[in-house]
Structure 1
Amino acid sequence: MSVPIAVPTPLAFNVPPAFSDIGKTTNDLLNKDFPLGAAKLEVNTFTNNGVKFTVLGAKDNKTGAIASELKAKHIDKARGVTFTESWTSSNILGTQLELDNTLARGLKVDVAASLLPAKGTKNLKAGVEYKQDHLFTRAFVDLFRGPALHADAVVANDGFLAGGEVAYDISEARLTRSNLAFGYLAREYTVALHASNALNTFAASYYHRVNTDVEAGAKATWTRSTDNDVHVEVGTKYFLDNEAFVKAKIDNRGLLGLGYTHLLRKGVKLSLGGLFDTTRFHENTHKLGLALTLEA
């Protein structure tokens, strides 16, 4: 059986991943396709002139609260322009403009704004992203929170990655975030090391594409403030066929996660998930959920 799998290979022109994507394959394996505690619906439709409409909805199984969002995204690939508008059930209005490779090769400019009319709460972020061989760097300013400057950069060579991330509160003149990450990216596996929370939290992870049917990975996290406890989580993904796969994960606290995803037909995907506390199996502590995604 031959199943197409997203393989963590180096990007074109030797451009490394963004700082937030170091270790992404492991995080996706352990967290993605596990809909928990809610029933979710996502509907995507596309027009001939490059407009994508998205409707998102989620009902919390515990409270019964329903949250939803409506998005309209216009993509002009020829000019490298993407314009997105959104409206949530919390009455938050959002607008985003992206210019990718428009002003210069490898340069992306991003401006995002949101407004809550009922309270007059507003937010505005302006950012730039630049990538070339062996380098991926980003920076953005959050104008109404601080204002705050956020920046990160990743350098790479022969599969080895090194990156850093900082956040600086301009009004208070102080550093509010400092993170480091290192990794190695190969065709069949990736490894990553993270030092975050001002070097108070450390994490190590790996992802392995065992064969065309099986993926495996694990992550260990340790925080200085805890009693030397290390949180370890291991997971796997198995393709049943071209349209379905199952996932399972378990950690050293006894939490067992199970997931099943099936492409029912072209444009219709169903995901079922559950998180079970094996140390309190007969108590009402478990979480179940489902997600239905429709595309046309």
Structure 2
Amino acid sequence: MTTPSFTELGQSIRNVLNSSYEYGRRVVRITLKAKSENNLEIDSSYKLNCENPPARGDATVKLRLQDYGVLSEKWNSDGTINLEYKIDEGKIFEGLRIVGGYSYNPSTNDSGLKVTTKFKNDFLNCSLCVGNALDKHLSFLAGVVIGLRGLFIGYQFEYESLSSSFTASNIGVTYKFTDLSVYFKCSPGMTDHYDLSAVYKVNENFKAAITGTLTGLDTRANWKGGWGVQYKFDEAATLRMKFNNELQLDTSIQHLLYDGIKVTLAFGIDCRDFENSRHRVGLAIDMEV
């Protein structure tokens, strides 16, 4: 089992509780992916919130250079252009990946550089990202995870040279049993944020998850809790539902219409005031050719 990165800790739980809930009052999202035989890939996304226009979107073009890595260019609807070059794992030596990127927005004249290095094997996953907002400041984001027989312990921090201080300091722990995965994350000394979650695989088609979050340790402490389920009817249809202590009921229905075309319909219902509340609905269409 390969050791996950820090951001991947607890991913199986987030897949049940957060994935495919694309909604607002009236939200539409369309994603298109295409891949040619000559190593050229196109990925675009368009999102429209009818209550908060204008629409937002992006488009990415990737070109695989065989033994030399991946070159990509991304355009955002706000005018930002991103150029990136990635050297995949194994090109230099096994487990190492290097990514370099440059971003520029001609309307605001903002620009920046970013270099990320990642290394992973069966027992270790570490990464370091150095960002430079040109003529402004440097930022450092680093993480490390150590794995041993289903137990993964990780630490992540972020440092900003502009304020000469740490802006993030997180500890994450995941333990995987046969059918149960438990995840704990905290930010001691920063935001006093504590999160404990678990997901249980009932069978191949049914998963159940529960989560609890505590923010603050004084009299103003705030906690949130919730649970969710995911049921896969067949290879084409999946139902997700979740409910929290604020009496928010969310439902997502995902269906594979044809090979490469997936439709997701999501609802958010406020059970505290069913008649007068502002319920939410969203539609997402994902196409891959």
When normalised by structure 2's length, the TM-score is 0.93
Higher mean Cα deviation, 165-174 or 98-107?
165-174
Q: Following the alignment from structure 2 to structure 1, what is the Cα–Cα distance between the partners of residues 281 and 191?
A: 35
Q: Following the alignment from structure 2 to structure 1, what is the Cα–Cα distance between the partners of residues 281 and 234?
A: 24
Q: How many residues align?
A: 282
Of 175, 186, 196, the match for 1:204: 196
Paired position in structure 1 for 2:29: 40
Q: Does 1:83 align with 2:71?
A: yes
Q: Following the alignment from structure 1 to structure 2, what is the Cα–Cα distance between the partners of residues 148 and 228?
A: 30
What does 1:189-200 align with in structure 2 at a 5 Å threshold? 189-196=180-187, 198=190, 200=192
Query: Shift of the alpha carbon at 1:80?
Result: 6.1
Q: Does 1:161 align with 2:149?
A: no
**Does the 8 A contact of 2:128 with 2:140 survive in 1?**
yes
Partner secondary structure for residue 65 of structure 1: coil
Paired position in structure 1 for 2:122: 133
Q: 1:152 to 1:270 in 2, by over 3 A?
A: same
Paired position in structure 1 for 2:16: 29
Paired position in structure 2 for 1:277: 270
Paired position in structure 1 for 2:39: 50
Q: Does 1:223 align with 2:218?
A: no
Query: Shift of the alpha carbon at 1:229?
Result: 3.2
Paired position in structure 2 for 1:59: 48
Query: Shift of the alpha carbon at 1:62?
Result: 1.5
Paired position in structure 1 for 2:252: 259
Of 155, 160, 164, the match for 1:173: 164
Query: Shift of the alpha carbon at 1:146?
Result: 2.8
Query: Shift of the alpha carbon at 1:237?
Result: 0.7
Structure 1 regions of 5+ residues with no counterpart? 1-10
Structure 2 regions of 5+ residues with no counterpart? none
Partner secondary structure for residue 79 of structure 1: helix
Q: Does 1:113 align with 2:83?
A: no
Query: Shift of the alpha carbon at 1:206?
Result: 0.7
Q: Does 1:152 align with 2:143?
A: yes
Q: Following the alignment from structure 2 to structure 1, what is the Cα–Cα distance between the partners of residues 170 and 270?
A: 32
**Does the 8 A contact of 2:191 with 2:215 survive in 1?**
no
**Does the 8 A contact of 2:270 with 2:277 survive in 1?**
no
Partner secondary structure for residue 22 of structure 2: coil
Query: Shift of the alpha carbon at 1:284?
Result: 4.1
Q: 1:119 to 1:199 in 2, by over 3 A?
A: closer
Q: Does 1:292 align with 2:285?
A: yes
**Does the 8 A contact of 1:147 with 1:171 survive in 2?**
yes
Query: Shift of the alpha carbon at 1:171?
Result: 4.5
Paired position in structure 1 for 2:84: 96
Paired position in structure 2 for 1:17: 4
Per-residue deviation, residues 190-219 of structure 1 (Å, max 9, x unmatched): 111001262600000111111022111111
Q: 1:284 to 1:253 in 2, by over 3 A?
A: closer
Partner secondary structure for residue 272 of structure 2: helix
Amino acid at match of 1:137: C
Amino acid at match of 2:29: K
Q: Does 1:70 align with 2:36?
A: no
Amino acid at match of 1:256: L
- Percent of aligned positions with the same letter in both sequences? 21
- CA-atom RMSD in angstroms: 1.6
Amino acid at match of 1:169: E
Q: Following the alignment from structure 1 to structure 2, what is the Cα–Cα distance between the partners of residues 95 and 271?
A: 31
**Does the 8 A contact of 1:59 with 1:67 survive in 2?**
yes
Query: Shift of the alpha carbon at 1:59?
Result: 0.5
Higher mean Cα deviation, 255-264 or 277-286?
277-286
